[in-house]
Structure 1
Amino acid sequence: MTIEPPAPGEPRRPHGPRDPGDAWVVAPTGERYWGRFGAAGLLAVDADRGVLLQHRVTWSHFGDTWALPGGARHEGESACDGALREAAEEAGVPDAAIRPRLLSVLDLGYWSYTTLIGDVVHPFEPTISDPESHELAWVPVDDVTRHPLHPGFAASWERLRALLGVRPAVIVDAANVVGSVPEGWWRDRPGAAGRLVGRVAELTKTGVTAASLDLPEDVWFPDWVIVLEGQARAAGDAPGVEVVRAEASGDDTIVDEVRRSVSAGRTVTVVTSDRDLVARVTDAGAAARGSRWLHDLIGPPA
């Protein structure tokens, strides 16, 4: 558990065992930032209830303000893991309740704060589980600025709010991607497709850079859809990846998936090097990346 020290002049409150990351970083200009290895917080987004905010206790740094559940990262801990751990410790956010969507990083050189924007996939009620909160509440997006906000959160809120409507999806033409490398796929099409599904599943954990998707910020966790056709339909599934098995034409199924995702408000990228299919998905409102783009992300076949 990470518990931020009290504001200057306030009595120290009891806390659990200290982690090496639980320390101040002092800027060259004298400002103090909590977290020797940086800090991270979770902006949990519930489609019906808004965003989860923490009303900080009076004795904390910038007490009596509203901000995100979060705190100091542990040594070697990823920003995503740190944000989810702190949200669990401070707000009782259950395991698997959040699907990561975006990492937004404020990097000052000597200290960083990472905001994880995550979608609630299993609704929950937050619970105060440490001494750092007066209150935890779901706040409608339009009402956030009606609360007295922590200065750091206030400075980033409008930028973060503008990202709440961005939901990227990547649709993969598996036949084209698998067929673009000579790994013997023609001898075992289900096996080759299954290996592709598994390697893409790893990207759901690490995310992809914003630049690779022509999106703002730092790292995104898009929805991944892989379309299988023919014998490859026998390939298995993998957590975090939606596998669509085409009943007939794989290309037609991909175009249908693009139209479905675009109509749902997704920012869609299709991975294929098939020129005819590129033209069709572009007409349907998607961007396109060649098979090499995905191979560069997932690495060479094992």
Structure 2
Amino acid sequence: MSSVLVIDSANVVGSQPDGWWKDRGAATRRLHERLMVADLSHDEVVLVLEGGARGGVRRGRDAHVRVTHASGQGDDAIVTEVTILRKAGHDVTAVTADRMLEARLEGLGAQVVGPAWLLEQLTPA
């Protein structure tokens, strides 16, 4: 069974006051670039983008990172991703600070961690 990390990109990008609101696409691209070189303990990383962030990174797979674009609400796209992954037997960890989304994901059997956890994983040693 593989382990998959599903990331609520809006929550992670929005957790740092680094001017992301001026250009969500660029902020999301920076997160994607950090994920590409990170040594995470997951077999796959799924980065879910919504709204203006979709313009920052194209949909598809780059090595171990798969980017998906939410057609509507990002939360619903994250729930769909986790549902599919859990039904396929994967261990899923989701990254979000949204309490309502956290409850939905835990109900599906996913472990949920906050953006600070992920950002610590991405910090250079």
> TM-score, normalised to structure 1's length?
0.39
1:223 aligns with one of 36, 44, 47: 44
Aligned residue for 2:32? 197
Q: CA RMSD in A?
A: 1.3
Matched, 1:233 2:54: yes
Deviating above 3 A after TM superposition, structure 1's stretches of 4 or more consecutive aligned residues are none
Distance, in Å, in 1 between the alignment partners of 2:11 and 2:17 is 12
Deviation, structure 1 residue 222: 2.1
* Higher strand fraction (1 or 2): 1
Distance, in Å, in 2 between the alignment partners of 1:191 and 1:239 is 20
Aligned residues: 121
1:207 aligns with one of 30, 40, 62: 40
Counterparts of 1:39-188 in structure 2, within 5 Å, are 166-188=1-23
1:269 aligns with one of 83, 90, 93: 93
1:198-218 per-residue CA deviation (whole Å, 9 max, x = no partner) reads 111112xx333xxxxxxxxxx
Contact persistence 2:43–2:64 (CA under 8 A): no
SS of alignment partner, residue 244 of structure 1: strand
1:127-151 per-residue CA deviation (whole Å, 9 max, x = no partner) reads xxxxxxxxxxxxxxxxxxxxxxxxx
* Higher helix fraction (1 or 2): 2
Distance, in Å, in 2 between the alignment partners of 1:184 and 1:222 is 31
SS of alignment partner, residue 57 of structure 2: coil
1:281 aligns with one of 105, 109, 112: 105
> TM-score, normalised to structure 2's length?
0.91
Distance, in Å, in 2 between the alignment partners of 1:282 and 1:171 is 13
Distance, in Å, in 2 between the alignment partners of 1:190 and 1:256 is 23
Aligned residue for 2:72? 248
Deviation, structure 1 residue 251: 0.2
- Tell me, which stretches of 5 or more residues in structure 2 are unaligned? none
Partner AA of 2:43 in structure 1: P
Distance, in Å, in 2 between the alignment partners of 1:276 and 1:296 is 23
Partner AA of 2:45 in structure 1: W
Deviation, structure 1 residue 223: 0.8
Partner AA of 1:225 in structure 2: V
Aligned residue for 1:162? none
Partner AA of 1:280 in structure 2: R
Partner AA of 2:11 in structure 1: N
Aligned residue for 2:81? 257
SS of alignment partner, residue 5 of structure 2: strand
- Tell me, which stretches of 5 or more residues in structure 1 are unaligned? 1-165, 209-220
Cα 1:175–1:297, aligned 2, differ >3 Å: closer, same or farther? same
1:102-161 per-residue CA deviation (whole Å, 9 max, x = no partner) reads xxxxxxxxxxxxxxxxxxxxxxxxxxxxxxxxxxxxxxxxxxxxxxxxxxxxxxxxxxxx
Rg larger in 1 or in 2?
A: 1
Distance, in Å, in 2 between the alignment partners of 1:199 and 1:183 is 15
1:225-279 per-residue CA deviation (whole Å, 9 max, x = no partner) reads 0000000001224432100100000000000000000011100000011111100
